[in-house]
Amino acid sequence: MTSKSPPANPLGLADAVKRAQAKGEGKLGIVAHNGSAVLGGAERALIRLLAGLQKRGHRVSLACNHDIVADEAARALVPVIIQPLRGDLVLGDVLAFSKFLKRETPDAFIIGTFKKVWLAGMAAERAKVGRVVARIGLASDVARRWKYRFALQRWVDAVVLNADAMRPAFEASVPKFDTTNIVTIHTGVQAPRTKQNAAAFRKSAGIPPDARVIGTVARLSKQKRLERLIEAAAQLPGVHVVIAGEGSERPKLEAVRDRLKVADRVHLIGEVRDVGDVLAALDVFVLTSDQEGMSNAMLEALALGVPVVSTRVSGAEEALAPIDGDAPGAVAGFEPAEIANAVNGLLQDADRLRRASTAALRVRGQRFDFERMLDEWELLLRDGPAALRRSGIR
C-alpha cells in the first residue's frame, strides 16, 4: 500500500486541538491496559504515550498483568496497578477489571495488547466506558478467531494502527468493522539521551576506533531473526556488529556467531538501559525482523540521525521513504546477502551515508514527531476518528 506522509505543518490538527482546549475540553481521564509478560517496544511506546498525555494535564493510569511492565511505568511516573486479564475464559478477571474501570471513570480506554481485546472489551462494555480504542502494534495482530471479531465489532469504537501498511490485512480480518473508525497514528519519538560519546561506547565494547559499526537494539526473540544480521556480518569483512538486548535466542545467536567465526566482530552486549549510547555509536541501524508494526528502535535510531536498513516489514517503507529527495536508509529483502548488500551500499558511499543521516533527522521531525502524535491521540480520544478526518490529517 502506498504511504501518504503527513504534512510537515498540520494546521488543521493544531487548530482542532486548540479549539477543544479553548472550550475547556482538554483534560481527559484515560486508562490503558497491557497484558504482555515481556517489556518490548510496544509496551515502552504505550508507557511513553501515557506519560506524554499526563504531562499535558490528562489523568492517566495503566493497568497491566506483570511487574516488568509495571516497573517501567513507575519509572516513567505513570500511575500503574497490577490488574490482570489472563486467559479468555477467566471471566472473574473481567468482573474485577470492570469494577476497576467504574472506579476510575475514564473518558477513554486504550486496549494495548491485541490478545486482550476480548476480555478488555467485555470489561469496558460492562463499565460503560465512553470511548474504547484498540491500539494495534504488529502486522500479525489480526482477528483470526470469531471472538476477536465479535469484540472489535461490538465493543471497540476505534482502532489505531501505527503503520498504513497494516491496514489491508486488518480490514480483511474484520470485514464488518466500520473502516472509517480505523486510523493510523504513527508512533512519535524523541531522540534518546546519550551518556557517553560514540568513541567511548565503542571502546567499552572492544571495537576499534576506526571500524565501521552496524547493529540493533531488540529482544533476542525468534520474531527479530537476528541470525540474519550475524550472517550478513559474515559477508561484510571488517564491519563490527552490536546487538543490544536479551532473550531466549541468545544461545542460538552465539552458536551462529561461533560457527561463522565472527565472534571477534559480533558483540552481544546484553540489556542496555541507555539505548541512546548504543544507537549513537552505529553507522547503520539494521532491522532484520519477519514482522513488525513500526519498530520503535528504528524510529529512535532515525531520531539520532542514524541511517537504517530494514527488511520489508510493515512500516519500513513508510519510515524510510525519501524526504526532500533523500532516503534515510534502505529497505532490503529477507536474505542475509540482500541485507549485507544494502548495508554495504551505505557504508561504501560516504556522501550517501551523510545524506541519509540528514534525511533521518528530517523524517523524525516531519513523520514521527512526538508532540504531533500526542495531538492526534488527544483528538481521537476526545472526539473520535471523525475528528481526525475533519482536521484533514487522517
Residue 75 and residue 221 in one domain: no
Residue 172 and residue 253 in one domain: no
When mean pLDDT is compared over 25-29, 164-168, 304-308, the highest value belongs to 304-308
The residues, any chain, with a CB within 8 Å of residue 22's CB and separated by 6 or more, are none
User: 175, exposed or middle or buried, with CB in 10 Å at 0-12, 13-18, 19+?
Assistant: exposed
Domain that includes residue 85, residue range: 11-188+369-390
> Is the CB of residue 297 less than 8 Å from the CB of residue 218?
yes
Half-sphere exposure of 348 (CA within 13 A, CB side): 9
Three cell numbers at 151? 469484540
Per DSSP, 368 falls in state S
Q: What digits encode the pLDDT tens for the residues 152-182?
A: 999 999 999 999 989 999 999 999 999 999 9
- Give pLDDT, residue 138: 85
Nearest partner of 20 among 393, 391, 285, judged by Cα: 391
Per DSSP, 248 falls in state T
**Dist. CA 206–CA 267, nearest whole Å:** 8
Record the pTM: 0.87
Q: What digits encode the pLDDT tens for the residues 57-77?
A: 999 999 999 999 999 999 999
Could you tell me if residue 222 is inside a domain?
Answer: yes
Percent of the chain with pLDDT over 70: 93
- Give pLDDT, residue 25: 56
Could you tell me if residue 109 is inside a domain?
Answer: yes
Could you tell me if residue 193 is inside a domain?
Answer: no
| pLDDT value at 19 more than 80 | no
Residue 18 and residue 107 in one domain: yes
- Give pLDDT, residue 24: 45
| pLDDT value at 84 more than 90 | yes
Residue 105 and residue 143 in one domain: yes
Residue 385 and residue 359 in one domain: no
- Give pLDDT, residue 6: 37
**Dist. CA 109–CA 158, nearest whole Å:** 11
Nearest partner of 198 among 215, 181, 182, judged by Cα: 215
Q: Which residues of 343-364 are buried (b: 16+ CB within 10 A; e: fewer)?
A: bbebbeeeebbebbbebbbbbb
CATH (domain of 300)? 3.40.50.2000
Residue 338 and residue 215 in one domain: yes
- Give pLDDT, residue 32: 98
Residue 380 and residue 259 in one domain: no
Instruction: Give the helix/strand (H/E) hosting 56.
Output: none
Domains contained in the chain, number: 2
Q: What digits encode the pLDDT tens for the residues 195-225?
A: 999 999 999 999 999 999 999 999 999 999 9
| pLDDT value at 228 more than 70 | yes
Q: Which residue bears the cell 480505523?
A: 182
Could you tell me if residue 292 is inside a domain?
Answer: yes
| pLDDT value at 10 more than 50 | no
Residue 363 and residue 380 in one domain: no
Q: What digits encode the pLDDT tens for the residues 236-291?
A: 999 999 999 999 999 999 999 999 999 999 999 999 988 999 999 999 999 999 98
Residue 373 and residue 363 in one domain: no
- Give pLDDT, residue 201: 95
The residues, any chain, with a CB within 8 Å of residue 148's CB and separated by 6 or more, are 114, 117, 118, 174
Could you tell me if residue 3 is inside a domain?
Answer: no
Residue 213 and residue 170 in one domain: no
Task: Map residue 166 onto helix, strand or coil.
Answer: helix
- For residue 181, how many other CB atoms are within 10 A of its CB? 16
Could you tell me if residue 146 is inside a domain?
Answer: yes
The residues, any chain, with a CB within 8 Å of residue 106's CB and separated by 6 or more, are 28, 29, 30, 31, 129, 130
Could you tell me if residue 183 is inside a domain?
Answer: yes
- Give pLDDT, residue 8: 38
- Give pLDDT, residue 15: 55
CA dihedral for 163, 168, 169, 174, sign (positive or negative): positive
**Dist. CA 14–CA 325, nearest whole Å:** 27
Three cell numbers at 24? 475547556
Q: At residue 59, what is the residue type? A: R
- Give pLDDT, residue 393: 60
At 347, is the pLDDT very low, low, confident or very high (cuts 50, 70, 90)? very high
**Dist. CA 248–CA 251, nearest whole Å:** 7
288 vs 11, more confident:
288
Could you tell me if residue 24 is inside a domain?
Answer: yes
- Give pLDDT, residue 273: 85
Instruction: Please enumerate, as own/partner, the contacts of 87-93 that have beta carbons within 8 Å and a separation of 24 or more.
Output: 88/118, 88/119, 88/147, 90/119, 93/119, 93/123
Residue 204 and residue 182 in one domain: no
Q: What is the overall mean pLDDT for the chain?
A: 91
Residue 135 and residue 213 in one domain: no
Q: Which residue bears the cell 476510575?
A: 104
